[in-house]
Amino acid sequence: MISALSALALGLAILPAGAAEKPVALIIAQGGLGDQSYNDLAYSGFKKALAQDKLEGKAVESKDVVAQAADILRRASDAGFGLVVDLEYSHGDPLAAVAKDYPDTDYVILNQVKPGANVASILFQEQEGSYLAGALATLVAKDASIKGMSGKPVIGVIGGTKSVGIDKFIVGYIEGARAVDPNVEVKVAYSNNFGDPALGLQMAKAMFDGGANVVYQVAGGTGLGVIQAAKDAGKFAIGVDTDQDGVAPGAVLTSMIKRTDVAVETVMKDYAGHAFPGGKTVTLGLAQNGVGLSPMSHTKDKIPAATLAKVDDLKTKILSGEIKVWNAVDQGYPPFFK
């Protein structure tokens, strides 16, 4: 740990002078680089921004990223980084505390809002992407010409835990489903566990047995079991966070992707352009390309063009502001989902 951090400090000393801004640190979250998911995606945005905005910077990986939160942040601040982008969710409070002591350094935290004039918070409008997923799922479920679909508007969603952060996805999904069919039945269940694929498989199996055609997973590792169950049952799953369509090609209808790369890129661009959104909350939705459905490379051919066009139409309406998707975090629970 200590050696890694001193290497970090040394690294700064050899950074070439002359870059317009002080360098940027990207603090990697649990799971580390190579997770083919959250961290890797963010890192790709980081590298792109370094090149585009002619910034210097480096990724900071730590073995004990949760327990050493404040320590890592302080070292990075002492090492002279001008911007610290922290991917680790549990760093919220330590980051807010450290930021107070380093008014000349800028900080970014994701998926939560933290106070401080030099802290920018980034939120994703997951409900917008989930809305499109729900609409697509319902349209596909009702289309008996698609292999495996019953033709009845019955779909499902499995959340990792009963919390407003997860229900934000679920509420958006249900709203999107109801937008294309007010009589849709959306089965909702929570696994209470983000890492148990065997449980996820059984839960999804129960939903498919109960008539669901498409099940959206918002449950991390547990959700891998949902995808497996869809494959076994000849139905569809919907992936989350990253493009999971390739996990079981053909069994994953689409994935609701959160573009952490876009988030990191956006905020670094602002920083390089002396427009860092300190003290502000940046929300990235469909309009900013911060969330969205995957390109559906394995399933696009199976879905009628009219269905895809309908989903695109809904997307346009969200972009134009004609549809405002319910945000459970800001607005509480809607009447259709208590």
- Specify which residues 157 forms β-bridges with: 188, 216
Q: Return the number of the residue (114 or 178) whose C-beta is nearest another protein.
A: 178
Q: Return the number of the residue (46 or 107) whose C-beta is nearest another protein.
A: 46
> What is the closest distance, in whole angstroms, from the C-beta atom of residue 276 to another protein in the complex?
30
Please check whether residue 216 is in contact with residue 253, taking contact to mean a CB–CB distance below 8 angstroms: no
Cα–Cα distance measured from residue 191 to residue 210, given in angstroms and rounded to the nearest whole number: 17
Q: Return the number of the residue (41 or 146) whose C-beta is nearest another protein.
A: 41
Q: Return the number of the residue (163 or 316) whose C-beta is nearest another protein.
A: 163
Which residues form the interface with another protein (CB under 8 A)?
Answer: 31-32, 34-37, 39, 162, 187-190, 192-203, 205-206, 209-210, 221-222, 224-225, 228, 247
CA distances from 317 to 91, 99, 170, 254 (A): 36, 39, 20, 20
> What is the closest distance, in whole angstroms, from the C-beta atom of residue 257 to another protein in the complex?
17
> What is the closest distance, in whole angstroms, from the C-beta atom of residue 30 to another protein in the complex?
9
Q: Return the number of the residue (110 or 286) whose C-beta is nearest another protein.
A: 110
Contacts of 16 (CB under 8 A, 6+ apart): 56
> What is the closest distance, in whole angstroms, from the C-beta atom of residue 197 to another protein in the complex?
5
Q: What is the end-to-end Cα distance of the chain in Å, rounded?
A: 46
Cα–Cα distance measured from residue 217 to residue 170, given in angstroms and rounded to the nearest whole number: 9
Cα–Cα distance measured from residue 52 to residue 67, given in angstroms and rounded to the nearest whole number: 34
Give the DSSP H or E segment for 59: strand 57-60
> What is the closest distance, in whole angstroms, from the C-beta atom of residue 100 to another protein in the complex?
33
